[in-house]
């Protein structure tokens, strides 16, 4: 049922409430990942405060996806320390939902939409047990939140890209996590889907959850996010959008590939 190791499920080990909600949802020090000789992410320090919504921004190949995968241990770290709510990932994994970049998921595996969402309920269902009526109702509720309730019985592979993205967000919602890490949730989706996903994410934040998105569309950073982390292998800036999303940091991150006029336009929303 789970051909992609990135979306692999973990059998319910019996949930222990280890999460200290007062500590920082995600704190990273010196995170370094290398696939070969040259690091993809080099010595990045970052903090993602509670109830914030952060855009991770940078050009293609800047190491954004690698950064998220490194925090989750999906790729090995060359160096660095990562704490989720003050603890190592394996102790809090039920509190962390991850939606990988859509291109990285095998969409051909045979599963109904509702089953994909029920997978998010592994805290309750466990890997080899069948979901009961209560779990199905919870899963339907999550599909409803992303406007996909009418597609519950469809095969996931038969949906459009935007619809698949909504289903994977529904699965993350079913997990009822405290921290949501999403890799380009708006890539290749239509405007209606983008709007639906943004509303869900903003509601999560309003409920005190923490949201981190790799985000490639500079024109919506200010409207969608309250914080930004700019990276291009190294960290270029971090902080509130007003502090971190400046002409200087954008030039540093994009290496002069953005025209002055483009940058002025992007920052209009802050005026």
Positions that interact with ligand ADP (CB under 6 A): 35, 40, 58, 60-66
> Could you tell which of Mg ion, ligand ADP, none binds residue 236, using a CB distance below 5 to 8 A set by kind?
none
Taking the least distance from each CB to ligand ADP, the nearer of 34 and 262 is 34
Give the residues lining the site for Mg ion (CB under 5 A): 65
Residue pointed to by tokens 């998220």: 68
The minimum distance between CB 202 and ligand ADP, in angstroms, equals: 24
> Could you tell which of Mg ion, ligand ADP, none binds residue 63, using a CB distance below 5 to 8 A set by kind?
ligand ADP
Taking the least distance from each CB to ligand ADP, the nearer of 27 and 184 is 184
> Could you tell which of ligand ADP, Mg ion, none binds residue 49, using a CB distance below 5 to 8 A set by kind?
none
Q: Using CB atoms within 10 A of its CB, is residue 154 exposed (0-12), middle (13-18) or buried (19+)?
A: middle
The minimum distance between CB 103 and Mg ion, in angstroms, equals: 9
> Could you tell which of Mg ion, ligand ADP, none binds residue 16, using a CB distance below 5 to 8 A set by kind?
none
Contact 61, 90 (CB under 8 A): no
Taking the least distance from each CB to ligand ADP, the nearer of 115 and 183 is 183
- Residue 252: CA count within 13 A, CB half-sphere: 15
Residue pointed to by tokens 């519950």: 152
Taking the least distance from each CB to ligand ADP, the nearer of 200 and 233 is 233
Give the pairing type, strands 179-183 and 26-34: unpaired
Residues 6+ apart with CB under 8 A from 107: 156, 157, 164
Helix (H) or strand (E) holding 242: helix 241-244
The minimum distance between CB 95 and Mg ion, in angstroms, equals: 24
The minimum distance between CB 69 and ligand ADP, in angstroms, equals: 7
Whole-number Cα distances in Å, 62 to 13, 47, 103, 216: 36, 19, 17, 11
Whole-number Cα distances in Å, 67 to 39, 202, 244: 11, 23, 18
The minimum distance between CB 36 and ligand ADP, in angstroms, equals: 6
Length of the chain equals 271
Taking the least distance from each CB to ligand ADP, the nearer of 61 and 132 is 61
> Could you tell which of Mg ion, ligand ADP, none binds residue 164, using a CB distance below 5 to 8 A set by kind?
none
Q: Give the closest residue to 184 by CA, choosing from 216, 141, 143.
A: 216
The minimum distance between CB 65 and ligand ADP, in angstroms, equals: 3
């Amino acid at each position: 049922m789970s051909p992609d190791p990135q979306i692999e499920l973990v059998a319910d080990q019996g949930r222990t409430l280890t999460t200290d909600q007062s500590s920082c949802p995600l704190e990273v020090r010196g995170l370094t990942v290398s696939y070969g000789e040259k690091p993809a992410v080099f010595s990045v320090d970052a903090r993602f405060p509670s109830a914030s919504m952060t855009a991770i921004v940078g050009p293609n190949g800047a190491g954004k996806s690698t950064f998220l995968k490194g925090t989750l241990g999906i790729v090995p770290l060359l160096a660095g320390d990562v704490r989720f709510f003050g603890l190592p990932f394996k102790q809090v994994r039920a509190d962390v939902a991850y939606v990988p970049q859509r291109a990285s998921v095998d969409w051909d595996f045979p599963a109904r939409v509702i089953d994909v969402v029920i997978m998010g309920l592994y805290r309750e269902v466990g890997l080899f047990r069948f979901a009961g009526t209560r779990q199905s109702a919870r899963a339907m509720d999550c599909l409803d939140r992303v406007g996909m309730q009418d597609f519950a019985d469809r095969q996931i592979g038969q949906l459009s890209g935007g619809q698949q993205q909504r289903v994977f967000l529904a699965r993350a919602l079913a997990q009822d996590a405290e921290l949501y890490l999403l890799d380009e949730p708006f890539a290749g989706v239509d405007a209606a889907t983008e709007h639906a996903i943004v509303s869900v994410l903003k509601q999560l934040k309003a409920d005190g959850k923490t949201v981190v998105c790799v985000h490639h569309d500079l024109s919506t950073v200010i409207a969608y996010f309250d914080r930004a982390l700019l990276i291009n292998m190294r960290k270029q800036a971090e902080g509130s959008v007003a502090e971190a999303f400046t002409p200087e940091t954008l030039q540093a991150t994009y290496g002069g590939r953005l025209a002055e006029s483009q940058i002025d336009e992007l920052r209009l929303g802050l005026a």
